[in-house]
Amino acid sequence: MKVSSGSTSEFDEQTVELLMNLQYDLPLTTTPLSDLAEKTGLNEEFALRKLRELHKKGVVKRYGANLNYRAFSRQQRAALVAAKVDESRIEEVARIINSYRPKHNYWRDYEYNIWFTIKAENFEAVEKLASEIMEKCNVQDYIVLPTKRVYKMDVKYDLTKGISWSESSNAKFDVPKVEELGIDENLLFKLEKLEFEKRPFLGLAKYGYREEEIVSLISELIEKGVVRDFSGVLKERKIGFKENGMHLIKTDKPEKLAKKLAKIPEITHLVERKTPESWRYPIYFMVHAVEKKLIERVKNEVEKLPDVEEIMVLYSVKDLMS
């Protein structure tokens, strides 16, 4: 994969190519990083050293098998929670929310200004957890938006275009549970955060698999939807993607609209949510970019689609987990 000279990234062309291939074209082999180096025409030791350096700096968050949380019974249900918090209390409330280890927690430019995600074994448990957190935060005005269906979950950043980009819709919703498959979930968590070594699967022999068997296992789990894909994950702000917009759409035909939206490559998370009567925005998606005008361009195109009654974009003010 060759990058254009017009890259929006602050990195040199070699590093951009390495990061792009880590996201989009990482070989699923017993020596993925070595084979990645060969693919990009880089010296193996240089590539490994560079990736370790980028990981230490927080540019590369992790690489490996990206898991589908629906395969884990204890966290197969999720919800987005929106809370209205006085600005003077945002940091205080964020610390309490973060103690529950949410996946995301953002301050956004809207009257409901804190948005975070939680997971539990069922919808009742999700509602109960949200209530517990909000009570502990002393916040009365909040909305719980349980996930009804995930249409797309693929967070990749095109460093040449300066915007999130994925033509893959890889979010299978009905997937077998890990316990049904007889796989140690601790092994899966290890596979999600592999070591930056030439043979990253070598240290996992204690789980009863040879390196070649782990590669086959990951491939099989991708087919089943337990693993979304095998790739690297970057930290958006560390690569110059300073803007992210959460789009909320009011529509009476969420499923029909979501299927169209899933084909738009700039969209990352695309979710249909259960909504209360007072909140008629069932469709949510994210777009990430180096500047807002790129996100606005996507929003303007989506706005023209049939079945879109209204669209709002809530921009991130601050990542409350960083």
Q: Does pLDDT of 62 surpass 70?
A: yes
Domain segments of the chain as ranges: 13-65+171-237
Largest CA distance in the chain: 58
Q: Does pLDDT of 8 surpass 90?
A: no
Of the pLDDT bands very low, low, confident and very high (cuts 50, 70, 90), residue 140 is: very high
Residue 5: predicted pLDDT: 34
Mean pLDDT of 209-228: 96
How many Å apart are CA 109 and CA 106, to the nearest integer? 10
13-65+171-237: CATH number: 1.10.10.2890
* H or E segment to which residue 82 belongs: strand 77-83
Per-residue pLDDT reduced to its tens digit, 78-126: 999 999 999 999 999 999 999 999 999 999 999 999 999 999 989 999 9
Whats the size of the chain, residue-wise? 322
Q: Does pLDDT of 170 surpass 70?
A: no
Q: What is this structure's pTM?
A: 0.92
How many Å apart are CA 9 and CA 153, to the nearest integer? 23
The DSSP call for residue 87 is G
Q: Which two tokens stand for residue 281?
A: 């925005």
How many Å apart are CA 88 and CA 79, to the nearest integer? 25
- The C-alpha angle 67, 68, 70, rounded to 5 degrees, equals 140
Residue 161: CA atoms inside 13 Å, Cβ hemisphere, count? Answer: 15
Using CB atoms within 10 Å of the CB of residue 238, give its burial: 0 to 12 exposed, 13 to 18 middle, 19+ buried: middle
How far apart are the two ends of the chain, measured CA to CA in Å? Answer: 31
Cα 253 from chain centroid (whole Å): 25
Using CB atoms within 10 Å of the CB of residue 45, give its burial: 0 to 12 exposed, 13 to 18 middle, 19+ buried: exposed
Q: Does pLDDT of 1 surpass 80?
A: no
Mean pLDDT of 11-22: 95
Residue 38: predicted pLDDT: 96
Residue 175: predicted pLDDT: 87
Of the pLDDT bands very low, low, confident and very high (cuts 50, 70, 90), residue 263 is: very high
Q: Which two tokens stand for residue 291?
A: 């500047």
Cα 182 from chain centroid (whole Å): 26
Of the pLDDT bands very low, low, confident and very high (cuts 50, 70, 90), residue 4 is: very low
Share of the chain above pLDDT 70, in %: 95
Q: Which two tokens stand for residue 98?
A: 């973060």
Q: Does pLDDT of 178 surpass 80?
A: yes
Q: Which two tokens stand for residue 50?
A: 């560079």
Residue 277: predicted pLDDT: 92
Q: Does pLDDT of 171 surpass 70?
A: no
71-80, 118-127, 249-258, 297-306: least confidently modelled range: 71-80
Residue 76: predicted pLDDT: 72
Residue 168: predicted pLDDT: 73
Q: Which one, of 80, 68, 70, lies nearest residue 282 by Cα?
A: 80
Of the pLDDT bands very low, low, confident and very high (cuts 50, 70, 90), residue 169 is: low
Q: Which amino acid is at 318?
A: K
